Structure 1
């Protein structure tokens, strides 16, 4: 057992740790709701953003770039009440798991706005030279389990499900693109000329039954 797991209650520690908990969950904690009520199946939009930096970038520069990227992505999705749930780094790659539609954050035009937000994020990194080799974004919509997972002494609030896995897999199958699933494409209500159908590829050892699309954006297709 880690020492941090058996520390006595401390207002100072709690105040510091609250900054790392999603606001939606803090409200439930402050209302003294049992953890079992935190978990549910709900329709969400899942967005993975993968930044591939050049191998030549040094560690101090990489850390500064990831911090800048985090601030920009967080600020960009905030207007849609989107949240960054997880940031993962591996070598010179950094991946952000963002979700839209958590309790209290659902919006009717979510799919449309998420696609436009993804384009703004992609354009920002393309226009600002941050020693990035590639920017890949995967977007899916559908029923997702969101709730508390892990050991009772060390758990986390996250999202799990086939739609989450599909969004993550898109980063590998369609690198350098803004890719979305058929549900997001349909719910957006945008004209088909804003999209390009992507070739079928194997996903989890099988060809997915869904059609995948590349979002080209509004400006590129007036």
Structure 2
């Protein structure tokens, strides 16, 4: 596969990922997807569907994001961008591990042994969601800063990448259904605008700057 074809493929993957992410952002308005969701919600197919869709989105990001970095790797902020990308990808792996647990184990526990769910959340298992969140935050701040410095993509792309990281972390503070849904929607919109612009650039072969 040529470099141009690889960029085009990665751009399409990023566009699909942000499209699915916008679709997924509707779910929290229909069902409580927060960690404080009632047991009846944890057993709902809608709850499992949301996290399964999130898992797919993360897989697509793992495929598409490296090309975003490679496009600007020779410019200013190259090392910063590489470190940021690496931390974000590791964070995604931790989040994927968390989602796999949520989808496969939590609904079963909610049905048979709901009293053990809170102790699990408070145990060493917390390193997966919290570690993933922290690594994604630091990773996207560094990657967004590198985008701003490199000037290969428009400046707003870097700014929105950083903003989306802050919204991602803010979801932890807003665990009631409506607040979580609103913050999740803001995260989805900001990341869609940023990575959608990158995906369009890669897929079309354009070299944006500004």
Q: Which has the larger radius of gyration?
A: 1
Q: 1 or 2, which has the higher strand percentage?
A: 1
Q: 1 or 2, which has the higher helix percentage?
A: 2
TM-score normalised over the length of structure 2: 0.26
TM-score normalised over the length of structure 1: 0.25
